């Protein structure tokens, strides 16, 4: 069949993580997935979600089965406003940061605009590059975040329209940008007139004190659009998050949301609103943080051992779900085949960069699998690495 398609359909591409994962087949019946960026099943607040849902349907409020405003369910907006200490007209509820990002891109970008991002970064940014046919500018990451000197030098040569950044426990590297760099980035945004899209789904999972967001640091609230998601701390299936931005932008985003899905499921908003307002919520968050910090320590122990034996280098994640590992040489796409045969799956670094020529990096998600699987996964990583190296030589 010859499909009838728009220009956009020819430009759009499958998300890089998904396309790498589609190609991986494992013969093993109990594979270990270090590839998926999902919360651990143990931490999903199942009991609370069930109780809140039952309560909702028992109370049967008159608006339960209706649409709500595209900006969001009013009481949920009030809760967000109180928690984020921002006026209600700066808030719009979304179906998570994937939608938030898409709406912001629709509002801001034209074909050929220059768009900066961290190298490496979450593949959503690369999808926008293809979809909007943008001029992509990748800025290297340092231990304390994006290299601001490189960014400024780049902007002087090629002005940018927008910059995408994951400020906390970055996906895939685990890096958190320092306060000094956050301030400098805001200054640059005002000096060179661009918008910062701040994608922040991991802020609750930082092991240390949280640094103010770029949105909080923006003095006039004109240059930062902030995306927040409940996917990592409640469940991705709830498909709920929110955008914080200047009311001028919120009004436009609302128009885009009206034609996209009218509103985020009011039932999900009601449930999440009840959950995050309940007295158990701070304890649930604390449990998650402790769980992931412990997982990070176990993974660190394994990676220190791999460093001693094979020279692997790894990040020191400040929180979140991921370790970023560099095995120094060889093509990890080849290792992936050995790993899949041994029953362990990871994501190659290539999925997080448009120009990854080194091909020696991988992302390990230490969050999702259970304790036994994790230890089995480590054994399989080492075993498959040794097989790969022996066969290459």
Ligand X SMILES: Cc1ncc(COP(=O)(O)O)c(C=O)c1O
Binding residues vs ligand X (CB under 6 A): 37, 96-98, 122, 124, 166, 171, 199, 201, 229, 231, 236, 241
How far is it, in rounded angstroms, from Cα 391 to Cα 257? Answer: 52
DSSP string, 69-115: -TT--HHHHHHHHHHHT--GGGEEEESSHHHHHHHHHHHH--TT-EE
CB of 199 to ligand X, least distance (A): 5
Contact criterion met (CB below 8 Å) for 163 and 197: yes
Crossing angle of the two packed helices 266-277 and 74-84, in degrees rounded to 10? 40
CB of 288 to ligand X, least distance (A): 15
* Nearest by Cα to 127 from 276, 18, 250: 18
CB of 287 to ligand X, least distance (A): 21
Distance of CA 213 to the CA centre of its chain: 15
CB of 320 to ligand X, least distance (A): 8
CB of 37 to ligand X, least distance (A): 4
Which residue number, 189 or 227, has a Cβ lying nearer to ligand X?
227
How far is it, in rounded angstroms, from Cα 382 to Cα 323? Answer: 16
Which residue number, 19 or 63, has a Cβ lying nearer to ligand X?
19
Which residue number, 226 or 338, has a Cβ lying nearer to ligand X?
226
Which residue number, 72 or 96, has a Cβ lying nearer to ligand X?
96
CB of 392 to ligand X, least distance (A): 32
Contact criterion met (CB below 8 Å) for 50 and 275: no
Torsion of the alpha carbons at 120, 124, 126 and 129, rounded to the nearest 10: -140
* Nearest by Cα to 331 from 309, 294, 360: 360
CB of 74 to ligand X, least distance (A): 22
Which residue number, 93 or 306, has a Cβ lying nearer to ligand X?
93
Contact criterion met (CB below 8 Å) for 367 and 169: no
CB of 250 to ligand X, least distance (A): 18
Which residue number, 268 or 342, has a Cβ lying nearer to ligand X?
268
CA angle 3–8–251, rounded 5-degree value: 135
Which residue number, 171 or 213, has a Cβ lying nearer to ligand X?
171
Q: Which residues of 125-145 are buried (b: 16+ CB within 10 A; e: fewer)?
A: bbbbbbbbebebbbbebeeeb
How far is it, in rounded angstroms, from Cα 274 to Cα 267? Answer: 11
Which residue number, 101 or 388, has a Cβ lying nearer to ligand X?
101
Which residue number, 98 or 288, has a Cβ lying nearer to ligand X?
98
Burial environment of residue 289 by CB neighbours within 10 A (0 to 12, 13 to 18, 19 or more): middle
* Nearest by Cα to 380 from 30, 19, 24: 30
CB of 10 to ligand X, least distance (A): 25
Q: How many distinct helices (H) and strands (E) make up the chain?
A: 14, 14
């Amino acid at each position: 069949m010859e499909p009838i398609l728009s220009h956009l359909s020819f430009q759009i591409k499958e998300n890089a993580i998904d396309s790498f994962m589609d190609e991986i087949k494992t013969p093993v019946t109990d594979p270990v997935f270090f590839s998926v960026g999902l919360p651990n099943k143990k931490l999903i607040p199942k009991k609370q979600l069930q109780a809140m849902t039952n309560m909702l349907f028992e109370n049967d409020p008159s608006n339960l089965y209706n649409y709500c405003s595209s900006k969001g369910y009013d009481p949920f907006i009030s809760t967000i406003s109180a928690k984020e200490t921002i006026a209600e007209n700066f808030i719009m509820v979304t179906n998570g940061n994937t939608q938030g990002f898409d709406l912001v891109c629709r509002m801001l970008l034209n074909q050929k605009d220059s768009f900066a991002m961290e190298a490496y970064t979450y593949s959503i940014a690369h999808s926008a590059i293809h979809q909007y046919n943008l001029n992509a500018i990748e800025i290297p990451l340092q231990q304390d975040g994006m290299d601001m000197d490189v960014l400024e030098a780049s902007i002087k040569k090629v002005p940018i329209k927008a910059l995408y950044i994951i400020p906390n426990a970055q996906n895939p590297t685990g890096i958190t940008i320092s306060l000094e760099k956050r301030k400098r980035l805001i200054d640059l945004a005002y000096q060179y007139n661009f918008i910062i899209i701040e994608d922040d789904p991991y802020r609750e999972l930082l092991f240390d004190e949280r640094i103010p967001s770029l949105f909080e640091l923006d003095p006039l609230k004109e240059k930062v659009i902030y995306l927040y998601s409940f996917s990592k701390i409640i469940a991705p299936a709830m498909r709920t998050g929110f955008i914080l931005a200047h009311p001028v932008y919120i009004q436009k985003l609302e128009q885009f949301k009206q034609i996209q899905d009218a509103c985020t499921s009011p039932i999900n908003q009601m449930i999440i609103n009840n959950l995050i307002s309940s007295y158990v919520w701070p304890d649930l968050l604390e449990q998650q943080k402790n769980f992931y910090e412990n997982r990070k320590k176990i993974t660190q122990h394994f990676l220190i051992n791999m460093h001693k034996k094979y020279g692997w280098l790894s990040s020191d994640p400040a929180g979140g779900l991921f370790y970023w590992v560099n095995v120094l040489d060889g093509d990890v796409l080849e290792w992936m085949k050995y790993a899949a045969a041994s029953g362990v799956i990871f994501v190659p670094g290539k999925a997080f960069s448009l120009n990854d020529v080194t091909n020696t990096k991988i992302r390990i998600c230490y969050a999702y699998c259970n304790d036994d699987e994790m230890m089995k996964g480590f054994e399989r990583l080492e075993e498959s690495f040794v097989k790969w190296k022996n066969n290459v030589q």
